[in-house]
């Protein structure tokens, strides 16, 4: 395992997100989730991303169990705001944010959150900036080590880079969503701001395992948010319609040649960007964790291959992405 800087922390370049084991990705057995977390930690993963709304706190509670006794060596990032009305300024008041934070600390069984992130708030909230003053206060009190923002668009990311206290941005970045590499990633690196690349596999499209007739479980967000019915359309299949995403993924089969499979190749693409602090794929069990970790050992993409992927993104993918990004 290699580690990259996030503030004064050194975090595993391949870390894991816990949305899938919390909920909204189909049923996940608790034993499988804990076994997957144990496999990641045994392999040197020391950083996990979660949120208070993942399974209504389930993923935070699972992380507490998996990291018990290792709180000072396993770092956790969690998020807040989406358990309330994200458009209401009161959601970002000191009293409200303290309530969110205390709830997460209780479920995580910790005294401090290593990275506390605003969970995809509206752009207007970021422009107002009052929530950052609240986070500065909580940081001064030692309740949070660092704070950051999970953003939906490059514009929001660039806006957050104007806030001195922001130490990390969580962005959608993968082969199908390369826009952040143009300006946001270099700017963040120059300012020493960490980048957490979420949805690195585009909700599973970049594993290459889906067929056009695949049907997801009713409680899987991929069955009810394909077109942004419940939340931002970009959070599901990177903003692509499922059928189009499957078609495009099929044309990327070549990336897995000599790299084991498409999953490992897609993760390697992200890790080849040194501006990225870590990629945070999800998982449901030990096998998926191990397959993702295998990306660490596959060969990097050549300049020619990266140029080919860039052309593919610009010519074939970009015209089909829905929503602001």
pLDDT digits (tens, 9 = 90+) for 95-104: 999 999 999 9
Position 219 scores a pLDDT of: 87
Instruction: Examine the pLDDT at 24 and tell me if it is beyond 80.
Output: no
Q: Of 143, 141, 253, which is closest to residue 207 (Cα–Cα)?
A: 253
Q: Please give the pLDDT value at position 179.
A: 98
Cα four-point dihedral sign 60, 34, 198, 146:
positive
**What are the residue numbers of the active site?**
54
pLDDT of the residue at 22: 87
CA 93 centroid distance within chain: 25
Residue 27 has a pLDDT of 76
Contact at 8 Å (CB) between 196 and 280? yes
Does this model's pTM top 0.85? My answer is yes
**What integer best gives the mean pLDDT of the chain?**
96
Which H or E element spans position 42? Answer: helix 30-42
Residue 26, pLDDT > 90, answer: no
Give the least confident one: 68-82, 188-202, 209-223, 248-262: 209-223
User: Out of 1.20.910.10, 3.30.390.30, 3.30.200.20, 3.20.20.100, which CATH number does the structure's domain 3-204+261-302 have?
Assistant: 3.20.20.100
Q: How confident is the model at residue 204 (pLDDT cuts 50, 70, 90)?
A: very high
pLDDT confidence of residue 106: 98
The average pLDDT across 279-300 equals 97
Report DSSP letters for 182-199, one per residue.
TTHHHHHHHTT-EEEEE-
pLDDT value of residue 28: 83
Of the chain, the percentage scoring pLDDT greater than 70 comes to 99
- Write down the pLDDT at residue 125: 98
- Residue 303's pLDDT is 98
Residue 23 has pLDDT above 90, yes or no: no
Residue-wise pLDDT for 113-164, tens only, equals 999 999 999 999 999 999 999 999 999 999 999 999 999 999 999 999 999 9
* pLDDT tens-digit map of 27-79: 788 999 999 999 999 999 999 999 999 999 999 999 999 999 999 999 999 99
Q: Residue 13: pLDDT above 90? A: yes
The answer to whether residue 175 scores a pLDDT higher than 80 is yes
- pLDDT (0 to 100) of residue 140: 98
pLDDT band at 6 (very low <50, low <70, confident <90, very high): very high
Give the 3-state secondary structure percentages of the chain, helix then strand then coil, rounded to 5: 45, 15, 35
Q: Is the pLDDT of residue 196 over 80?
A: yes
The per-residue pLDDT for 254 is 98
């Amino acid at each position: 395992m290699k580690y990259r800087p996030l503030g004064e922390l050194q975090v595993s370049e391949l870390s894991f997100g816990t949305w899938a084991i919390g909920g909204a990705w189909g049923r996940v057995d608790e034993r499988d989730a804990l076994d997957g977390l144990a496999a990641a930690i045994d392999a040197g993963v020391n950083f996990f991303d979660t949120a208070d709304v993942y399974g209504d706190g389930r993923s935070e509670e699972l992380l507490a169990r998996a990291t018990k006794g290792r709180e000072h060596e396993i770092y956790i990032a969690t998020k807040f705001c989406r358990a309330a009305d994200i458009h209401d300024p009161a959601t970002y008041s000191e009293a409200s944010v303290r309530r969110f934070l205390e709830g997460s600390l209780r479920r995580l069984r910790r005294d401090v959150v290593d990275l506390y992130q605003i969970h995809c708030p509206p752009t207007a909230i970021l422009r107002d900036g009052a929530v950052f003053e609240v986070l500065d206060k909580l940081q001064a009190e030692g309740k949070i080590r660092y704070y950051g923002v999970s953003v939906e668009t490059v514009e929001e990311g660039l806006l957050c880079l104007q806030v001195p206290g922001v130490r990390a941005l969580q962005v959608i970045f993968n082969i199908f969503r390369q826009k952040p590499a143009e300006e946001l990633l270099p700017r963040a690196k120059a300012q020493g701001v960490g980048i957490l690349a979420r949805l690195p596999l585009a909700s599973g499209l970049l594993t290459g395992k889906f067929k056009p007739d695949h049907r997801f479980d009713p409680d899987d967000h991929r069955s009810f948010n394909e077109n942004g019915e419940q939340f931002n359309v970009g959070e599901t299949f990177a903003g692509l319609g499922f059928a189009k995403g499957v078609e495009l993924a099929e044309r990327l089969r070549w990336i897995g040649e000599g790299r084991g499979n498409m999953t490992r190749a897609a993760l390697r693409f992200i890790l080849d960007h040194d501006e990225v602090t870590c990629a945070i794929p999800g998982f449901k069990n030990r096998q998926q964790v191990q397959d993702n970790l295998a990306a660490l050992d596959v060969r990097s993409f050549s300049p020619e291959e990266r140029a080919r992927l860039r052309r593919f993104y610009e010519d074939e993918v970009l015209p089909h992405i829905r929503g602001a990004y």
